[in-house]
Amino acid sequence: MHASFSAGTLLGAGLSSLAILFKVPVLVHLLLIARIEFILIFTFFRFLPEDTGKEDAVSRRQEVSSEKPVNVWTEPRTLLIGLIVLGMAFAEGSANDWLPLTMTDGFHVTHAQGTAVYGVFLTAMLIARIFGGAFLDRYGRVPVLRLCTAVSVIGLSLVIFSGNLTAAVIGVFLWGIGASLGFPVGLSAAGDDPKGAVKRVGAISFVGYCAFLVGPPVLGLLGEEFGLVRALMIVLIGIVLSGLVSRAVKPPASEKCS
């Protein structure tokens, strides 16, 4: 599912580059995309199974009657998973909102080229999310997540400190590879224990989307003061923190999954 999300954003970036190249007015572009989305949604939503997103009523009643309410915000493991997702979602959301402008301002490329570099990031995300499941099954969450954070740190460091366009593009690709699995792995880890899984996954999703919504404006404010390239250092710090607490995504001892 996350790979499909990345594929959609990659397609959107490609269409945006073409729109810029052919000087399509923004209003025309957005109205056309909105119409396509409307058609797609109302064509395919009816094929979703009727019980999608619903809980079994009997098991839910049993859980409510036999278990104490779960307060996920007091669970150390859930909070640490939230910290992981916060850092990695910030890394992804910052690229989604600021990477094209960072390339145009920091490396003096054209707007179409800046959007194309964003496409490099999305391509890396798509590749990693397609093949990441096999690596998670083979090596486990913690080693893979640590590798992802290391790769993302290397990539982002190239963008921030290299001052070279070619090195920065390579860095963007590594940044995308590294940032790809943090959110999906965090959601999976939050759902390990069936009891209270809905609340935990909801809490982790809330944290992740807060990072998507709040992080980029903060980065923009820092960018006005220090420049967007240097402002990315706060993203780098978030990724490092995610790596330091990556052990939190290890399944509980009672679970026989990796």
Q: Would you mind telling me the total number of residues written for the chain in this entry? A: 258
pLDDT confidence of residue 10: 86
Is it the case that residue 189 has pLDDT exceeding 70? yes
> How many folded domains does the chain comprise?
1
Reported confidence tier of residue 181, pLDDT bands at 50, 70, 90: very high
Look at the alpha carbons of 158, 175, 99, 245 in this order and tell me if their dihedral is positive or negative. Answer: negative
pLDDT confidence of residue 231: 93
- Answer yes or no: is 54 within a domain: no
Write the DSSP symbol of residue 247.
Answer: G
Report the C-alpha dihedral over residues 178, 7, 189, 186, rounded to 10 degrees: 50
Residue 104 CA to residue 179 CA, distance in Å, equals 22
Q: Which of 45-54, 114-123, 126-135 has the lowest average pLDDT? A: 45-54
pLDDT in tens, 191-217: 898 888 888 999 999 999 998 888 888
Is it the case that residue 174 has pLDDT exceeding 70? yes
| 48-to-4, 19, 190 alpha-carbon distances in Å | 16, 32, 25
Is it the case that residue 123 has pLDDT exceeding 80? yes
Residue 110: give its domain's CATH number.
1.20.1250.20
- Answer yes or no: is 62 within a domain: no
Which amino acid is residue 47, in one-letter code? Answer: F
Residue 43 CA to residue 62 CA, distance in Å, equals 37
The answer to whether the pTM exceeds 0.85 is no
Reported confidence tier of residue 56, pLDDT bands at 50, 70, 90: low
Distance of CA 196 to the CA centre of its chain: 24
Q: What percent of the chain has pLDDT over 70?
A: 90
Reported confidence tier of residue 257, pLDDT bands at 50, 70, 90: very low
- Answer yes or no: is 223 within a domain: yes
Mean pLDDT of the 87-114 span? 90
Which helix H or strand E contains 142, and what residues bound it? Answer: helix 141-161
- For residue 71, give both structure tokens: 């307060």
Look at the alpha carbons of 135, 136, 138, 141 in this order and tell me if their dihedral is positive or negative. Answer: positive
Mean pLDDT of the 120-135 span? 93
- Answer yes or no: is 199 within a domain: yes
186 or 115: which leads in pLDDT = 186
Q: What is the mean pLDDT of the chain?
A: 88
Residue located via tokens 């090596």: 139
- Contact between 197 and 95 under an 8 Å Cβ cutoff? The reply is no
- Answer yes or no: is 34 within a domain: yes
- For residue 213, give both structure tokens: 């919504």
pLDDT in tens, 34-43: 999 999 988 9
pLDDT confidence of residue 170: 97
Report the C-alpha dihedral over residues 14, 20, 22, 24, rounded to 10 degrees: 110
Q: At what angle do helices 111-139 and 2-21 cross, to 10 degrees?
A: 170
- Answer yes or no: is 59 within a domain: no
Write the DSSP symbol of residue 49.
Answer: -
Q: Residue 178, class by beta-carbon neighbours within 10 Å (0-12 exposed, 13-18 middle, 19+ buried)? A: buried
Quick check: helix, strand or coil at residue 191? coil
Q: Cα-atom radius of gyration of the chain, to the nearest Å? A: 20
- Answer yes or no: is 63 within a domain: no
The range of the structural domain enclosing residue 230 comes to 2-49+72-249
- Answer yes or no: is 212 within a domain: yes
173 or 71: which leads in pLDDT = 173
